[in-house]
Structure formats: structure tokens, C-alpha cells
Amino acid sequence: MKRISDTSRINLETLSSFDLVTSAPMQFSETVVMRLSATSSASNDYLANYLHTSQFTFDSGAVLASGSIYNNNFVPRYSQFISPVDCYIKNLNGFINTAGGGGCKGEQTFTISVWSKPTNVGTASTAMTLLFSQDFVFGASNNSNALAIDGTTDSKIGNKLYKISAQEGVIVSVKRVGEPCANIQATFTMIFETTGNQATTSTFDFKANMNAFGGNTMDVINRPDSNSTGNKPTQIEL
């Protein structure tokens, strides 16, 4: 290997950019916070108030049933999530708690349900599809009493057959069984995953430091991560 003095040394840093395309399922998450007041006397399903989305004060007027037709305004008014692409609920978990129920004479039973529903541009009503449902029974109510909202209790969670089509809304409802007494509060998170892979593109920067000493040998130091250390030079015979 020929060398000359350091005064003739040439140092050149180059930066190459590559587009890295990956194809994999994409996930979205949505956290729902709800409160059902003891003053909600009907045993119908209650939906979120569009003026205060954590307050489930709108009486749907029915015990909702999968496959039944309901008002076309449900999604724009009461939905918690609009699907950007075809997806399903991958996971769901959280907690539910009662408050102000210390004087309740009997058990307090509640049901939280999650539905999908398309929306027509116009007025035609559409059917709702049940995606998740879980019952909760409180034998005694106090501010520390909590139960788990657990998606593993319903086989529809994680099942791609229960597809939420692009532009469909996801609506949460809650209902009570029996005489109203305790208030309930709940917080849970839904993880949605696309039913098919989604292509994403990101930029990958590749740095190379080339040191030439005036002869026929060049040292090339590759640094894909500019913060990395300990890269060993590779000698290239010119």
C-alpha cells in the first residue's frame, strides 16, 4: 500500500438516501371515557352526548340488537371512531367503577357494548353490528370498587370476520339492568388493526466517509447511524 504525507490526505463524506418501503398491518387506538348517571332511568342502551362525549346521557330508545336498523344520524352524532380503512378490533381493555351506590339495595348490573355502523349520505337508516359486549355485576358499590373491561371475554375481539369497513363508525353504548341506583365511570382502550397489510415509505440515510491518501487505496467508513461509534474502515483497492 502506497502512502504519502498527511498533507495530501483527502477526506470526503457522502450521504445517500434510500426509500424503504414496508408492508405490514397498521394499528390505531381509541380511548373511551364514559359516565352513566343514576338518573338514567331507562334500561335502554345509552349513547355518548355529542355536547359532552364522556357523558352517556342520550337514550337510544331501544335495547340495541345486532342486525337491526337504526337512525342514519347515529355515526355522526354518537360514534367514537371512524375507520380510515378496513379493520377489526385487535384488543380491548380497561376498567369500570361505581360511585354513589353505597345505599343501593341490590346488585347493580351494567352492559357495555361496541358496535359498527355505516352511514349513508342522505337519510336512509342502516344496520348496526355488534363487535363486543360484556356484563358487569356490582354486589357492593363504593368509590374504590372496580372491575376489568376485558376483550378476551368476547370471542369477537381479535376475529377478522367482524370487519369494520372503511368509513364505518364505531359506537359504544351502555345500559343497566334493574332499578337505577349507582353512577358508573369507565375508561377503556380499543386497538384496531387493518385486515390487510398497508404499505408505508420511510427515508433511510446512509453515510460514508472516504479517506484517500494519494495512493491506490481508499478507506471507507460506513455509518448508517451518524451517532454510532466503533465502525471499522473497509479498504478498497483502486
Q: Where are the beta strands (DSSP E) in 100-178?
A: 108-117, 126-127, 129-138, 146-150, 169-177
Per-residue pLDDT of 54-67, as tens digits, reads 999 999 999 999 99
pTM, two decimal places = 0.76
**Residue 180 binned pLDDT confidence (cut-offs 50, 70, 90):** confident
Query: What is the predicted pLDDT for the residue at 39?
Result: 85
Which numeric CATH code is attached to 26-196?
Answer: 2.60.120
Query: What is the predicted pLDDT for the residue at 88?
Result: 98
Per-residue pLDDT of 49-106, as tens digits, reads 999 999 999 999 999 999 999 999 999 999 999 999 999 999 999 999 998 877 787 7
Highest mean pLDDT among 22-31, 127-136, 220-229: 127-136
CA dist 231 and 210 (Å) reads 13
3-state secondary structure of 141: coil
Q: Are 91 and 117 in contact (CB under 8 A)?
A: no
Higher pLDDT, 25 or 2: 25
Q: How confident is the model over 3-16, as a mean pLDDT?
A: 53
Q: Helices marked H in the chain — which ranges?
A: 74-78
Per-residue pLDDT of 139-164, as tens digits, reads 876 778 899 999 999 999 999 999 99
Q: In whole angstroms, how far apart are CA 208 and each of 121, 190, 211?
A: 55, 44, 10
Query: What is the predicted pLDDT for the residue at 238?
Result: 45
CATH 2.60.120 segments of the chain: 26-196
Share of the chain above pLDDT 90, in %: 58
Query: What is the predicted pLDDT for the residue at 216?
Result: 54
